[in-house]
Amino acid sequence: MTQTYSIGVDLGGTNLRIASYSEALGLMDTISLPTRLVEGRERVVRDLCEAVVSLKRKGYDGRALAGVGIGTPGPLELPEGILRNPPNLHGWDGFDLRNAVETCLAHSVSIESDGNAAALAEARLGAGREQKVDSLGILTLGTGVGNGLILNGQIWHGSTGMGGEAGHSIVKDQDGAPCGCGGFGCLEQYASAMAIQRMARERMGSEAPASSHAIFLMASEGEPRALSIFETVGHSLAIALTGLVNTLNLPLYLLGGGVCEAWEMFAPSMFRELRVRSYVYRLTEPGEGDPAALERHKTYILRAQLGSGAGLLGACLLPYERQDSTSTSQENLLVHK
Amino acid sequence: MTQTYSIGVDLGGTNLRIASYSEALGLMDTISLPTRLVEGRERVVRDLCEAVVSLKRKGYDGRALAGVGIGTPGPLELPEGILRNPPNLHGWDGFDLRNAVETCLAHSVSIESDGNAAALAEARLGAGREQKVDSLGILTLGTGVGNGLILNGQIWHGSTGMGGEAGHSIVKDQDGAPCGCGGFGCLEQYASAMAIQRMARERMGSEAPASSHAIFLMASEGEPRALSIFETVGHSLAIALTGLVNTLNLPLYLLGGGVCEAWEMFAPSMFRELRVRSYVYRLTEPGEGDPAALERHKTYILRAQLGSGAGLLGACLLPYERQDSTSTSQENLLVHK
B65 DSSP β-pair partners: B5
Residue B290 pLDDT class (50, 70, 90 cuts): low
Instruction: Note the pLDDT of residue A13.
Output: 85
Percent of chain A at pLDDT exceeding 90 = 81
Chain A residues within 8 A of B77 when measuring between CB atoms: 297
pLDDT tens digit sequence for B69-114: 999 988 899 988 999 888 778 889 999 999 999 999 999 999 999 9
The alpha carbons of chain A give a radius of gyration, in whole angstroms, of: 20
Kindly state whether residue B214 falls inside one of the protein's structural domains.
yes
What dihedral angle (degrees, nearest 10) is formed by the CA atoms of B281, B285, B288, B290?
-80
Mutate which of A80, A82, A147, A173 to disrupt the B interface (most B C-beta within 10 Å)? A173
Starting at the earlier edge strand, list the strands of the sheet with A26-34: A26-34, A15-22, A4-11, A64-72, A109-113
A240/B169 Cβ within 8 A: no
Last residue of a domain, one of A86, A115, A144: A115
Is A162 in the same domain as A242?
yes
In whole angstroms, what is the distance from residue B55 CA to residue A24 CA? 62
B337 pLDDT higher than 70: no
Kindly state whether residue A325 falls inside one of the protein's structural domains.
no
Pairing of strands A109-113, A154-155: unpaired
User: B161, B79 in Cβ contact below 8 A?
Assistant: yes
Mutate which of B189, B246, B336 to disrupt the A interface (most A C-beta within 10 Å)? B246
Instruction: Note the pLDDT of residue B332.
Output: 32
Kindly state whether residue A312 falls inside one of the protein's structural domains.
no
User: A26, A133 in Cβ contact below 8 A?
Assistant: no
Cis status, amide bond into A75, omega within 30 of 0: yes
List, in sequence order, every beta strand (DSSP E) within chain B: 4-11, 15-22, 26-34, 64-72, 76-77, 82-83, 109-113, 136-141, 145-151, 154-155, 252-256, 300-303
**Stretch B128-137: mean pLDDT, rounded?**
88
**Stretch B35-53: mean pLDDT, rounded?**
96
In whole angstroms, what is the distance from residue B55 CA to residue B281 CA? 46
Backbone dihedral region for residue B254 (phi beyond 0: left; psi -120 to 50: alpha; all else: beta):
beta
B244/A170 Cβ within 8 A: no
3-state secondary structure of B106: coil
In whole angstroms, what is the distance from residue A322 CA to residue B263 CA? 43
In whole angstroms, what is the distance from residue A227 CA to residue A232 CA? 9
B324 pLDDT higher than 70: no
Residue A115 pLDDT class (50, 70, 90 cuts): very high
Mutate which of A80, A249, A328 to disrupt the B interface (most B C-beta within 10 Å)? A249
B278/A183 Cβ within 8 A: yes
- The 3 state secondary structure assigned to chain A is CCCEEEEEEEECCCEEEEEEEECCCEEEEEEEEECCHHHCHHHHHHHHHHHHHHHHCCCCCCCEEEEEEEEECCCEECCCCEECCCCCCCCCCCCEHHHHHHHHHCCCEEEEEHHHHHHHHHHHHCHHHHHCCCCEEEEEECCCEEEEEEECCEECCCCCCCCCCHHHCECCCCCCCECCCCCECECHHHHCHHHHHHHHHHHHHHHCCCCHHHHHHHHHCCCHHHHHHHHHHHHHHHHHHHHHHHHHCCCEEEEECHHHHHHHHHHHHHHHHHHHHCHHHHHHCCCCCCCCCCCCCCCEEEECCCHHHHHHHHHHHHHHHHHHHHHHHHHHHHHHC
A337 pLDDT higher than 70: no
Instruction: List the one residue out of B67, B87, B84, B72 whose CA is nearest residue B7.
Output: B67
Is B110 in the same domain as B144?
no
B1 pLDDT higher than 60: no
Instruction: Note the pLDDT of residue B307.
Output: 86
Instruction: Note the pLDDT of residue B82.
Output: 94
Instruction: List the one residue out of B141, B84, B89, B139 whose CA is nearest residue B116.
Output: B139
Is B284 in the same domain as B149?
yes
A278/B162 Cβ within 8 A: no
Instruction: Note the pLDDT of residue A18.
Output: 98
Kindly state whether residue A331 falls inside one of the protein's structural domains.
no
Is B167 in the same domain as B230?
yes
Residue B292 pLDDT class (50, 70, 90 cuts): low
Instruction: Note the pLDDT of residue B329.
Output: 33
Query: Rounded to an integer, what is the distance from CA B143 to the centroid of its chain?
Result: 11
Total residue count of chain B as it appears in this document: 337
pLDDT tens digit sequence for A52-107: 999 999 999 999 999 999 999 888 999 889 998 887 788 899 999 999 999 999 99
Is A100 in the same domain as A159?
no
Is B138 in the same domain as B107?
no
> At residue B135, what is the residue type?
S
In whole angstroms, what is the distance from residue B310 CA to residue B140 CA? 10
In whole angstroms, what is the distance from residue A307 CA to residue A118 CA? 9
Percent of chain B at pLDDT exceeding 90 = 81
What are the angstrom distances between the C-alpha of A123 and each of A74, B95, B163, B332? 20, 35, 20, 27
Is A156 in the same domain as A230?
yes
3-state secondary structure of B238: helix
Chain B residues within 8 A of A156 when measuring between CB atoms: 151, 248
DSSP class of residue B294? P
Residue B294 pLDDT class (50, 70, 90 cuts): confident
Kindly state whether residue A177 falls inside one of the protein's structural domains.
yes
A121 pLDDT higher than 50: yes
A335 pLDDT higher than 70: no
Is A139 in the same domain as A102?
no
Mutate which of A247, A249, A283 to disrupt the B interface (most B C-beta within 10 Å)? A247
Instruction: Note the pLDDT of residue A273.
Output: 97
Is B155 in the same domain as B266?
yes
Kindly state whether residue B24 falls inside one of the protein's structural domains.
yes
Is B166 in the same domain as B93?
no
User: B161, A284 in Cβ contact below 8 A?
Assistant: no
Kindly state whether residue B126 falls inside one of the protein's structural domains.
no
pLDDT tens digit sequence for A203-254: 999 999 999 999 999 999 999 999 999 999 999 999 999 999 999 999 999 9
Instruction: List the one residue out of A194, A195, A161, A158 whose CA is nearest residue A176.
Output: A195
**Stretch B179-186: mean pLDDT, rounded?**
94
The structure's pTM equals 0.92
| Count of CA atoms in the C-beta half-sphere (13 A) of A245 | 28
- CATH number, residue A91: 3.30.420.40
In whole angstroms, what is the distance from residue B310 CA to residue B115 CA? 9
pLDDT tens digit sequence for B264-287: 999 999 999 999 999 999 999 998
In whole angstroms, what is the distance from residue A314 CA to residue A150 CA? 12
* Cβ burial A205-227 (10 Å sphere, 16+ → b, else e): eeebbeebeebbebbeeeeebbb
Starting at the earlier edge strand, list the strands of the sheet with A136-141: A154-155, A145-151, A136-141, A252-256, A300-303
Chain A residues within 8 A of B277 when measuring between CB atoms: 170, 183-185
B161/A246 Cβ within 8 A: no
Residue A291 pLDDT class (50, 70, 90 cuts): low
Is B137 in the same domain as B278?
yes
Percent of chain A at pLDDT exceeding 70 = 93
Nearest to B165 among A240, A246, A276 (CB): A246
Q: Which domain holds residue A269?
A: 127-305
What are the angstrom distances between the C-alpha of A120 and each of A116, A125, A321, B142? 6, 8, 9, 38
Q: Indicate the range of A287-291, B241-245, B318-322 predicted with least confidence.
A: A287-291
Nearest to A162 among B182, B244, B249 (CB): B249
A183 pLDDT higher than 90: yes
Chain B residues within 8 A of A283 when measuring between CB atoms: 75, 84-85, 162
A296 pLDDT higher than 70: yes
3-state secondary structure of B43: helix
pLDDT tens digit sequence for B220-231: 999 999 999 999
Instruction: Note the pLDDT of residue A294.
Output: 74
Kindly state whether residue B125 falls inside one of the protein's structural domains.
no
DSSP class of residue B111? E
3-state secondary structure of B308: helix
Instruction: Note the pLDDT of residue A193.
Output: 95
Number of domains in chain B: 2
Cα angle B90, B95, B98; round to 5: 125
Q: Share the mean pLDDT of chain A.
A: 91
User: A267, A253 in Cβ contact below 8 A?
Assistant: no
Instruction: Note the pLDDT of residue B289.
Output: 64
Nearest to B162 among A164, A183, A280 (CB): A280
Residue B129 pLDDT class (50, 70, 90 cuts): confident
B311 pLDDT higher than 60: yes
How far B160 CA lies from chain A's nearest CA (Å)?
5
Instruction: Note the pLDDT of residue A88.
Output: 78
Is B57 in the same domain as B176?
no
A239/B170 Cβ within 8 A: yes
| Residues in contact with B96: Cβ distance below 8 Å, sequence separation at least 6, in sequence order | B80, B81, B82
Instruction: Note the pLDDT of residue B336.
Output: 31
A30 DSSP β-pair partners: A19
